[in-house]
Amino acid sequence: MKLEARFVTSASALADCPRWDRPEVAFTGRSNAGKSSLINGLVGIKGLARTSKTPGRTQLLNFFAINEQLAFVDLPGYGYARMPEAEAKKVAAMTWEYLNRRTNLIALVMVIDARRGPEREELALADATLRGGRRFLVAATKSDKLKRSERAAALARLTELSGEAILCSAVDGEGLDAIRRRLLEWSREQTPHTRVAAVTKQS
C-alpha cells in the first residue's frame, strides 16, 4: 500500500494553515518519540518530515498532502524540548489553538515510544480528543527495540488510552500498513468538522 505525499507548508499560527477541504490527521507525541520518522515511514519518503536527535526541533505545524483526500500534520513535540521557556510556551499555545479550533482536524495519532507507558499529558490529551468526537489512535513506535517478552505488556499499557494501539517501527516497517489502512479508512468515512471540538487545554 503506497501513499503519495508532498510537503505543503509550515504554519506558526492558525491563520497560516492551508485553506483547503482536506481532512487532517495530526501526529503528536513527546519530543523524540519518533513522530517525523513515523510519517516518513508511512509515506515511504525518507526525509519528507524533518527528523533530528535533538529534542524540540519541530516548532511549527508542518502540513503534508497525502494522496487526493487527506493531509498529515506534524505537530511540535512536548516534554523536554530544548528551547527557552518563553518560546516553549508560544509553541504550546500554537499547538493547542490548532487542536481546539482547526475544523479540518478529524483524527489524532498519539506517538509514544513503545518502551514507555502513557503519562499525565498523554492521558489528558487522549481523554480530551475522544470527548471532542475525533478519532484517536496510539502509534507505539520503536517496537523493534522491545524484547518478545515485553510486547504484550507494552501494548496493554497503551490500549488503555483509546482501546486501539498499534506496535510499529520505522526501522523494520512493523505496523505501518495497519496504520495506513486505518487513516485512509477514517478519511473516507469522515469530512472535516463543522464545529469547534470540545478540547480543553490541560493545566
Q: Are 31 and 78 in contact (CB under 8 A)?
A: yes
Distances (CA, A) of 149 to 42, 118, 143, 165, 173: 26, 19, 12, 18, 20
pLDDT tens for 55-87 read: 445 688 999 999 988 999 999 887 655 667 788
Q: Are 61 and 73 in contact (CB under 8 A)?
A: yes
Average the pLDDT over each of 99-113, 133-147, 180-194 and give the range with the smallest value.
Answer: 180-194
Of the candidates 26, 27, 51, which has an alpha carbon nearest to the alpha carbon of residue 37? 51
pLDDT tens for 105-138 read: 999 999 999 998 788 888 888 888 888 889 999 9
Q: Residue ranges of the domains in the chain?
A: 5-11+20-189
pLDDT for res 88: 79
Residue written as grid cell 499560527 = 13
pLDDT for res 50: 66
Angle at the Cα of 54 from the Cα atoms of 50 and 59, rounded to 5 degrees = 55
Rounded to 10°, the helix 120-131/151-162 angle is 40
Number of neighbours of residue 193 by Cβ within 10 angstroms: 16
Q: Are 67 and 49 in contact (CB under 8 A)?
A: no
pLDDT for res 90: 87
> Does the structural domain 5-11+20-189 have CATH classification 3.50.30.60?
no
